[in-house]
Chains A and B, each alone.
Chain A
Amino acid sequence: MTPRSAHVEDELAAYSLDALDAVEREWVEAHLAGCSRCRASLAEYQQVADGLLFVPPPQPPPANLRERIRKSLPSNAPRTVEARRSPWVAVHSAMTGALAMAVVVLSVTAWQIKDALLRQEKELARLEAGIAERSRVDGVALALLSYPDRQVAMISGESAYGTVVYEPRIPLVIMNAWGLPELAPGEVFQAWLIRPDGERLSGGLFLRDPGTPFTRVLLEASEPVSNFIGVGVTIEPEGGSLGPTGQQVLRADF
């Protein structure tokens, strides 16, 4: 724990100033999520960074600046973020008989339309999230490749093969896998980071990427990759397992 904390501690000052590059930022954020000591230390740096906002001595603004702002202020009130209550509730309780029936029919239709729209929205959100995730993984992969000490290892299994890219000091591994087998319903791939004593730590769950001929996955470790001797992928039940239980489909040694 100590050397790892000390290492992230070194990056906290830069993190509070927003001076880290993307890969380092991800790494620090991953560490912060599980380390209260570093979060406390970051809070202190954050106070310094906030204090730096106040360091330039105040300067009285020229009188015409107030007037300029007054003229440029949009005349309508700013948009607020108050949630609106559904109008259906009030309308429905105010009606009786056939009219109420008609409203029920209408509102059921409206509900069905709303439901269909909602489902489409969810599907869109899912696709968008997929695209966002893919571009995030691609971004990290590119950033990782730019490091002079990056390493590439071949990864292979019975039918699947590919590469893993990593930088020993960074707790991230990019895996590019071709030929992953079809999964049965209720199954997922689970990646494992392997310690020198054989212990396996989960590196995350993933599915085959239907959009590309290969699957690129970002494995997030809780500590630098240099603490591990290799990586493996097994097939596990949905939700993943605490340790590998299923068939191994890929394996690489660092």
Chain B
Amino acid sequence: MDALTRLPDADLLLRVARGDREAFFQVYDRHASRVLALCRHILGDSMAAEDATQEAFLRVWTRAAQYDPARGKVTTWLLTIARRVSIDRLRSEARRPAPDALDADEAWAEVADPGSVGEDARWHSLRLAMEDLPPEQRRVISLAFYFGLSHSQIAGMLSTPLGTVKTRLRLGMRKLRQAWSESLGSASEPRRRGVRLPGRKRSA
């Protein structure tokens, strides 16, 4: 058990592919909190998120042999599975995200964890950058990525012209890309940020 805790994710997954339950639960213990958070973010409901997390980890158990380290980190693979499972559940239940809920301040205004370093700090900067986007840009990015909608579906859902949706998505993603590349330089010393005031409006 002790040896397992020191193994990198990719080695654990090799063992999972051979049916090693201890290795599987090591992966679970390391990453279930992220998987659950993503499922919860997409499905919005704790019960549904736990069901989706369970389904995602069962897929990890049966498909561990398909993981290809050349194509990315284990966590990215795991969260991609969780995203797919959650979006499929949204679709099969014909549930639609409530657009008003997407940019509710509480969904994005959690306070910084200034102690985080390395990759955590980069994800955190991305989170702050997402929080800083004008709500209409954040909304189209959320609908596309977390809810699996194409931009013409988003246009229909928000009753907004397709061109406007495309522009918002593009501008928002450009800002996130900028924030992401800047965070590479400052990943070791994350900036401390003020807490966003609820209801503060931003211009497009």
Partner-B contacts on A (CB < 8 A)? 10, 13-14, 16-21, 44-45, 47-62, 65-66, 68-70, 72-74, 76-81
Contact = CB atoms under 8 A, between A and B. Distances in A.
B41 interface: yes
B58 A21 contact: no
B91 interface: no
A56 B65 contact: no
A78 B16 contact: yes
Interface of B: 16-19, 21, 24-25, 28-29, 32-34, 36-38, 40-41, 50, 53-54, 57-58, 61-66, 72, 75-76, 79-80, 82-83, 110, 119, 122-123, 126-127, 130, 141, 144-146, 148-152, 154, 166, 169-170, 172-174, 176-177, 180-181
B148 A18 contact: yes
Given A14-B166, A17-B144, A69-B57, A44 B177 contact: yes
Contacts of B32: 61, 65-66
A60 B29 CA distance: 10
A150 to B, nearest CB: 15
Nearest to A65: B50
Contacts of A45: 173, 177
Contacts of B148: 18
A87 B129 CA distance: 58
Nearest to A55: B127
A58 B34 contact: yes
Given A13-B170, A17-B173, A52 B145 contact: yes
A50 B176 CA distance: 12
Q: Chain B at the A interface: mostly helix, strand, loop or mixed? A: helix
Nearest to A80: B65
Nearest to A52: B145
Contacts of A20: 150-151
B181 to A, nearest CB: 7
B34 A66 contact: no
Which are the 6 A-B pairs with shortest beta-carbon distances?
A: A77-B19, A13-B173, A19-B144, A58-B33, A53-B79, A56-B41
A20 B155 CA distance: 12
A54 B16 contact: no
A13 B169 contact: yes
Given A19-B169, A51-B180, A68 B54 contact: yes
Nearest to B80: A53
Nearest to B145: A17
A13 B174 contact: yes
A54 B75 contact: yes
